[in-house]
Amino acid sequence: MGIDINIRITGGAGQGVHTAGGLISRMAVAAGYHFHSTQDYMSRIRGGRNSYSVRMMDVPARAGRADADILLALDPGHLPRFLPGLHPKGLALSDTSIVGEMERVTAAPLKELAVSAGSPILGNMVGAGIVAHALGVPSSTMDQLLALEFRGDFLEKNRKAVRLGSEWASGRLTEAFRLPPAPFRPRILLAGNEALALGAVAGGCKFAAGYPMTPGSSILLGLSTDGPPLGLVFEQAEDEIAALNMAIGASYAGARAMVATSGGGFALMAEALSLAGMLETPVVIALGMRPGPATGMPTRTGQEDLDFAISAGHGDFPRMVLAPGSVKEAYALAFHAMEATEAHQVPCILLTDQYLADTTVDVGPEDLPVLPVRRRIVRGAEVPRNADGKYLRYALTENGISPMAVPGEPGITIVVDSDEHDEEGHLTEDHGIRVRMEGKRARKEEGLAADTLPPLLSGPPDGEAVLVGFGSTKGVIAEAREILAREGVSVAAVHLRQVWPFPTGAMEEILSRYGTALTVENNRRGQLARLIRRETGRQVAGTVSRCDGLPFTPEAVAKEAKERLWAAHSTRR
């Protein structure tokens, strides 16, 4: 077994949990290791109970772990909640001077040392210094890492806090968690939403709009940070309705455009989604899922909007729904979304969730392939004209896709209408034209189906059982599969990175090769299981479900999958 150390920092909002977690993640990279970090935070600006878990491994880490090897509780009041999640051989650190000694907890003078370093708010950095010592990361490395983030007097205070923590730990703590020396590799620390925004920018996104809503906001942040140097313009909309109508307007004018939101905001966008379907305007909608209904649990995770994403919007129109399963895939699929929405002239939804949004890992530049952007707008002599010299935005074509020109092109006009329209784009109530336009839009589904990204299968090519998931569960299911394999239970895993158009043929073929299929979903009702039944006619044996607002962990998926498989097999006997 290689290196696998899970470090959990807990505290209230404003105590620097995020800062310490980020620093410890960079420590992993500096020490030559990989990491996977996740966050669990409450919907408030100050206080509450937040946690940040950093799992360090000597192989690329794909998921978080339920138990912690090192627990750093910046607020000792949180210990009763987090101690049960401490590994039996784990180390818990907290400033218990306020609450008195506690079993299994090493009392660390976080506050006292923070004050010595220059500010009582530096307890997080004292704690990070203790962790650095436990991992064997030298002070010189910590000094370098801190310089990446802080400047001037504040940098020196942070350095001092880390050093004081490290010195305090020296001699007091065992070196049970010392990381063996490993070669340093320059890596990129990237969160799911950052990767998604970066992929969209790499895919030529030039217009973005949105109204802040967790967990979509950090996509907007990424777009408005990485986009402008590449010519992207960003505007904060007055509401989500405006955001998507703006993106559609920009797309009409020839810009690759996107919006980002969460379920509630997406609900407000439903009418405009239908507009994109009618106008055949390319647009990308990033939908970061969180538990609902209504406001639900704003800062937590869930996969409850699968049904909604594939069916939102009135009327019949083709669309694409992609579901990235990792940080790397968030980048790749955002790029793909930008290309595909324009190629097929249908709206494309990128379905992510709070878990993936806030998951940070280390990747190499080679994990973020840079591909050419292929614009499909027709210009100048390429613009087709009819006998009257007119350009027809909705020219009836064999594959349903009409060449798209943009306003400003001399000699022609571009007419689009949310009403049913003729080939020129003008409103019509002619039933014959209506049928032809419906046919044209429907024909695009054939091209979409042909371009559907196939599900990714890992594990034995056939056998007793297969676990099926979509989106952010990819890494968790992959690890769960390996845990099961170690326990002698051979299962395969299928990851759906595109859920619409549903890869029906591929799924029918895969499911036919295994005795039992289970879905793994962050929702209660098994929306993926129902989708599979609807599209393939196959009933899965059950669903490993979690709907408490927290992400799956590999151990829990493995355990429940085993129980359910056992139950399914017993029933069959």
Partner 1 sequence: MGGAFDTAVESAWCPGCGNFSILNAVKKALERTGKGKHEIVLVSGIGQAAKLPHYVDANVFNGLHGRALPAALAIKMANPSLEVVVTSGDGDLYGEGGNHFVHNIRRNPDIALFVHDNQVYGLTKGQPSPTSDPGWTGSLQRSGVISGPFPPLTVAIALGCGFVARALASDVEHTAEMMYQAIAHKGFALVDILQPCVSFNKKNTYEWYRKMAYRVPQDHDPSDRQRAFALSLEWEERIPVGVLYRKERPAFEEVHPGVGDPPLHARQTPEDAIRALIRKRVLDLP
User: According to CB under 8 A, which residues from 120 to 179 bind partner 1?
Assistant: 141, 144-145, 148
Strands 360-363 and 491-496: unpaired
61: alpha, beta or left? (left if phi > 0; alpha if psi -120 to 50): beta
Residue with Cβ nearer partner 1 (198 or 565):
198
Residue with Cβ nearer partner 1 (270 or 485):
270
The yes or no reply on residue 184 touching partner 1 (CB under 8 A) is yes
Q: Which of 419, 462, 487, 563 binds partner 1 (CB under 8 A)?
A: 419
Nearest-approach distance from CB 4 to partner 1, in angstroms: 22
Q: Which of 11, 165, 203, 298 binds partner 1 (CB under 8 A)?
A: 203
Rounded Cα distance between 294 and 356, Å, is: 21
Site for partner 1 in 341-370 (CB under 8 A): 365, 368, 370
Nearest-approach distance from CB 378 to partner 1, in angstroms: 11
- What is the C-alpha R_g of the chain? 26
Q: What six digits make up the tokens of 30?
A: 């500096």
Nearest-approach distance from CB 48 to partner 1, in angstroms: 30
Residue with Cβ nearer partner 1 (94 or 193):
193
DSSP string spanning 14-33? TSSHHHHHHHHHHHHHHTT-
* Residue 345 near residue 444 (C-beta atoms within 8 A): yes
Site for partner 1 in 12-41 (CB under 8 A): 26, 29-30
User: 421-430 burial string, b = 16+ CB within 10 Å, else e?
Assistant: bbbbbeebee
Residues 299-338, one symbol each (x = binds partner 1 by CB under 8 A, - = not), give ----------------------------------------
Beta bridge partners, 94, equal: 73, 107
Candidates 91-99, 413-421, 468-476, 534-542; binding stretch for partner 1 (CB under 8 A): 413-421
Burial tier of 371 (Cβ tally within 10 Å: 0-12, 13-18, 19+): exposed
Residues touching partner 1: how many (CB under 8 A)?
75
Distances (CA, A) of 110 to 20, 26, 73, 147: 13, 21, 10, 22
Nearest-approach distance from CB 260 to partner 1, in angstroms: 16
Nearest-approach distance from CB 368 to partner 1, in angstroms: 5
Listing from the earlier edge strand, what are the strands of the sheet with 491-496?
A: 456-458, 491-496, 463-470, 514-521, 542-545
* Residue 54 near residue 37 (C-beta atoms within 8 A): yes
Residue with Cβ nearer partner 1 (149 or 487):
149
* Residue 473 near residue 522 (C-beta atoms within 8 A): yes
Nearest-approach distance from CB 329 to partner 1, in angstroms: 16
Nearest-approach distance from CB 437 to partner 1, in angstroms: 15
Residues 215-254, one symbol each (x = binds partner 1 by CB under 8 A, - = not), give -----------x-xxxxxxxx-xxx-xxx-xxxxxx-xxx
Q: Which of 63, 198, 320, 541 binds partner 1 (CB under 8 A)?
A: 198
Nearest to 349 by CA among 264, 282, 253: 282
Site for partner 1 in 466-525 (CB under 8 A): none
Count how many residues are written for the chain.
573
Residue with Cβ nearer partner 1 (81 or 185):
185
Rounded Cα distance between 441 and 397, Å, is: 10
Residue with Cβ nearer partner 1 (176 or 371):
371
Residue with Cβ nearer partner 1 (190 or 196):
190
Nearest-approach distance from CB 362 to partner 1, in angstroms: 8
